[in-house]
C-alpha cells in the first residue's frame, strides 16, 4: 500500500497524546511511535520505571505502557529529531482559551499548534502526513497548510521537491477516566481530509482494532466542527439537567426521577443526565467558548448567545451550591470546618482542570470556612495551585493568607466537622459509616451530596441534616 506508516511522532505527551499513542502502539506492533514534549518533567514521568508515577492516571494505562514502552512506544523531549524521522505526525498539544488579545476569554489560543506547524515545516523530511488530534477551531487546517507551504517557498527549488505534506483532521473523543476503554472501543473514529491516500494510511492504523464501519470520513471542516459540536451538545445536556435540578429542589421533585423518566424516551436517551456540581474538565467550557467566538466571527450573534447560555448556567450553578451551603449553615461559615470529598473534575482521573471543586472551594474559603480536602489521586501541590492557597497542618500558623488542610483518613477528618461536601463521585465516598460520622461531627451537622453518591436512607436514619443535588423531596 502507498503511504504505509512505519514511524509516528506525536507532539504533546498529555492526557490525549499519551493514552492515544499507547493504544495505537498496543495494536500496531509494526509501527514505531515517539511521543515528544517540550515539558521534560512530563517526559521523565512517562519514562518512570514505577508505573504509579506516570504523569496521568487512567485505569488500564499502566498495563499498556508496561507492555509497549521501550519496544514500539518511546517518550522523548527530542522534538526535532523525531519530527524528522516520522512519516506521520500527530499534533496533540494544548489549545486553551486565549487569555489576552483578540478573542480573549473565548477564542482558542493556537500558539502551541502554530509552533508545532513551524517545527514540522522546518524539520520534516520527505512526504509527511500531519494529523490534527488537538481540538481546533474550524478551518485551522488551512492555517497549518499555509505554514507548511510557506516554509517550502523559502527553500531552493531542489529542496522544495524533497518535502510534501498532507493535513488530516482526526479529533479525539475520549473521556478522562475511561480513556483506554474509549480508545479501544470507540463509538466512531472521525477522519476529515481531502487526500484519499493520506486518509487510507490513517484508516489502516485504526483498522488494526476498530471495525471498518466505525471509521467515518468527512471533509476536513466538518471533522473539525463535529468535535466542537459533540462537546457542546454533551455540555448542553448537563446544563439542562442541572437547571431542572434547581427547579426540582424548589418544587419537591427529584431530579433523578425526572432524569429516569425522560431518559427512557429513546429520542432523549439516558446518558449524560446526572445532575452534579456543574461540568468541569479541560474541554467543555473552552470548546463551547470557542464555538461562541466562531459564531460571532461568522456574524451569527444569536447562535453565539444560545451556546454561551450553557456556560453561563454552569457558572451560576457552581455559585448556587456554595451559596446554598452558607445559607444552610445559618448564614455564616466563618471558622467552620467543612470536609470536601473529591477535588478532581470527575472520578478516576487526577485532572482538576476546570473542576467545579475549584470555584466552590474558593468561594467557601472566601467566606472564612476551614476546608479539609480529600482526593485519592489529586496531589496537594495541584490543589494549592488551583486554590492559590497554602497547605497547612493542624496547629500551624494561619497567618499565611488562604490555606487548606489535607485529609488522608476520611473518618477521622470528620471529627468536629460542621459539614461534609461531596464533589467527586469516587467509589471511596459511597460507603462512609454515617452513624459513626454523626457521633463525631459537630451538630447540627450537614452532609451535602452534589454527586448523588451516598445512600440517602442511611443518612436520613442518622442525626445528620442532608441535602443532595436536585432533590426537593427531602424535608
Which residues are near ligand NAD by CB under 6 A?
11-17, 36-39, 42, 79, 92-95, 112, 115-116, 134-135, 172, 174, 176, 282-283
Nearest-approach distance from CB 36 to ligand UDX, in angstroms: 22
The grid coordinates of residue 280 equal 468541569
Binds ligand UDX (CB under 6 A): choice among 54, 238, 304, 441: 238
Q: CA 110, 7, 349 angle in degrees (round to 5)?
A: 55
Residue pointed to by grid coordinates 493520506: 198
Q: What is the dihedral of CA 409, 415, 421, 423, to 10 degrees?
A: 0
Q: Is 175 in the site for ligand UDX (CB under 6 A)?
A: yes
Binds ligand UDX (CB under 6 A): choice among 173, 306, 316, 466: 173
Q: Find all residues with CB under 8 Å of 345, minimum gap 6, and list them.
A: 176, 279, 280, 281, 351, 352, 353, 354, 355, 356, 357, 424
The Cα 303–Cα 226 span in angstroms is: 16
Nearest-approach distance from CB 113 to ligand NAD, in angstroms: 8
Nearest-approach distance from CB 342 to ligand UDX, in angstroms: 10
Site string for ligand UDX, 121-160 (x = CB under 6 A): ----------------------------------------
| Beta carbons of 421 and 340 less than 8 angstroms apart | yes
Q: Which residue's beta carbon is nearest to the bound ligand NAD? A: 14
- Catalytic residue list contains 361: no
Nearer to ligand NAD, 11 or 365 (CB): 11
If contact means CB under 5 to 8 A according to the sort of partner, which of ligand UDX, ligand NAD, none does residue 11 touch? ligand NAD
Q: Find all residues with CB under 8 Å of 463, minimum gap 6, and list them.
A: 438, 443, 445
Nearer to ligand NAD, 14 or 278 (CB): 14
The Cα 466–Cα 324 span in angstroms is: 12
Nearer to ligand NAD, 134 or 462 (CB): 134
Binds ligand UDX (CB under 6 A): choice among 129, 141, 234, 420: 234
The Cβ-side half-sphere exposure at 106, using a 13 Å CA radius, reads 16
SS (H, E, C) 101-117: CCCCCCCECCHHHHHHH
For the chain, counts of helices (H) and of strands (E):
18, 15
Nearest-approach distance from CB 448 to ligand NAD, in angstroms: 27
The grid coordinates of residue 369 equal 470556612
Q: Which stretch binds ligand UDX (CB under 6 A): 36-44, 48-56, 168-176, 208-216?
A: 168-176
Nearer to ligand UDX, 222 or 229 (CB): 229
Task: Indicate the burial class of 262 (C-beta count within 10 angstroms; 0-12, 13-18, 19 or more).
Answer: middle
User: Looking at 9, 283, 361, 384, which residue is catalytic?
Assistant: 283
Q: H-helix or E-strand containing 256?
A: helix 255-263
Q: Which of positions 301-360 make contact with ligand UDX (CB under 6 A)?
A: 345-346
Site string for ligand UDX, 276-295 (x = CB under 6 A): x--xxx-xx-----------
Nearer to ligand NAD, 134 or 239 (CB): 134
The Cα 423–Cα 372 span in angstroms is: 13
Residues that bind ligand UDX (CB under 6 A): 172-176, 231, 234, 238, 272-274, 276, 279-281, 283-284, 345-346
Residues designated catalytic: 283
Amino acid at each position: 500500500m502507498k503511504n504505509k506508516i512505519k514511524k509516528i511522532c506525536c507532539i504533546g505527551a498529555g492526557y490525549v497524546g499519551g493514552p492515544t499513542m499507547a493504544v495505537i502502539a498496543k495494536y500496531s506492533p509494526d509501527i514505531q511511535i515517539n511521543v515528544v514534549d517540550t515539558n521534560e518533567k512530563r517526559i521523565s514521568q512517562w519514562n518512570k520505571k514505577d508505573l504509579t508515577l506516570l504523569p496521568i492516571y487512567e485505569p488500564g494505562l499502566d498495563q499498556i505502557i508496561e507492555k509497549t514502552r521501550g519496544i514500539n512506544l518511546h517518550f522523548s523531549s527530542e522534538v526535532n529529531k523525531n519530527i524528522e524521522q516520522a512519516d506521520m505526525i500527530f499534533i496533540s498539544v494544548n489549545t486553551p482559551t486565549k487569555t489576552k488579545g483578540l478573542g480573549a476569554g473565548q477564542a482558542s489560543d493556537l500558539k502551541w499548534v502554530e509552533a508545532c506547524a513551524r517545527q514540522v515545516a522546518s524539520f520534516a523530511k520527505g512526504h509527511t502526513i500531519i494529523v490534527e488530534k488537538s481540538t481546533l477551531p474550524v478551518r485551522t487546517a488551512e492555517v497549518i497548510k499555509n505554514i507548511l507551504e510557506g516554509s517550502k517557498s523559502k527553500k531552493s527549488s531542489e529542496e522544495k521537491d524533497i518535502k510534501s505534506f498532507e493535513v488530516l483532521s482526526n479529533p479525539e473523543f475520549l473521556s478522562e477516566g475511561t480513556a483506554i476503554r474509549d480508545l479501544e472501543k470507540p463509538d466512531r473514529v472521525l477522519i476529515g481530509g481531502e487526500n484519499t491516500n493520506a486518509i487510507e494510511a490513517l484508516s489502516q492504523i485504526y483498522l488494526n482494532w476498530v471495525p471498518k464501519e466505525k471509521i467515518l470520513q468527512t471533509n476536513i471542516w466538518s471533522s473539525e466542527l463535529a468535535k466542537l459540536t459533540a462537546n457542546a451538545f454533551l455540555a448542553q445536556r448537563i446544563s439542562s439537567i442541572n437547571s431542572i435540578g434547581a427547579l426540582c429542589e424548589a418544587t419537591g421533585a427529584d431530579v433523578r426521577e425526572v432524569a429516569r423518566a425522560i431518559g427512557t424516551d429513546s429520542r432523549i436517551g439516558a446518558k449524560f443526565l446526572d445532575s452534579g456540581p456543574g461540568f468541569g474538565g479541560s474541554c467543555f467550557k473552552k470548546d463551547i467558548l470557542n464555538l461562541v467566538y466562531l459564531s460571532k466571527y461568522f456574524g451569527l450573534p444569536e447562535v453565539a448567545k444560545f451556546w454561551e447560555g450553557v456556560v453561563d448556567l454552569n457558572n451560576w450553578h457552581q455559585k448556587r451550591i456554595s451559596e446554598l451551603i452558607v445559607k444552610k449553615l445559618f448564614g455564616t461559615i466563618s471558622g467552620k470546618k467543612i470536609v470536601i470529598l473529591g477535588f478532581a473534575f470527575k472520578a478516576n482521573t487526577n485532572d482538576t482542570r476546570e473542576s467545579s471543586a475549584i470555584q466552590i472551594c474558593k468561594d467557601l474559603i472566601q467566606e472564612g470556612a476551614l476546608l479539609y480536602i480529600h482526593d485519592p489521586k489529586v496531589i496537594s501541590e495541584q490543589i494549592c495551585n488551583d486554590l492559590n492557597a497554602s497547605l497547612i497542618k493542624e496547629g500551624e500558623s494561619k497567618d499565611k493568607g488562604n490555606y487548606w488542610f489535607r485529609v488522608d483518613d476520611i473518618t477521622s477528618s470528620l471529627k468536629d466537622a460542621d459539614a461534609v461536601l461531596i464533589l467527586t463521585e469516587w467509589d471511596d465516598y459511597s460507603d462512609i459509616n454515617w452513624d459513626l460520622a454523626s457521633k463525631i461531627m459537630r451538630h447540627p451537622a450537614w452532609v451535602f451530596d452534589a454527586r448523588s453518591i451516598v445512600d440517602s436512607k442511611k443518612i436520613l436514619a442518622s442525626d445528620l441534616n442532608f441535602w443532595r443535588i436536585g432533590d426537593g423531596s427531602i424535608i
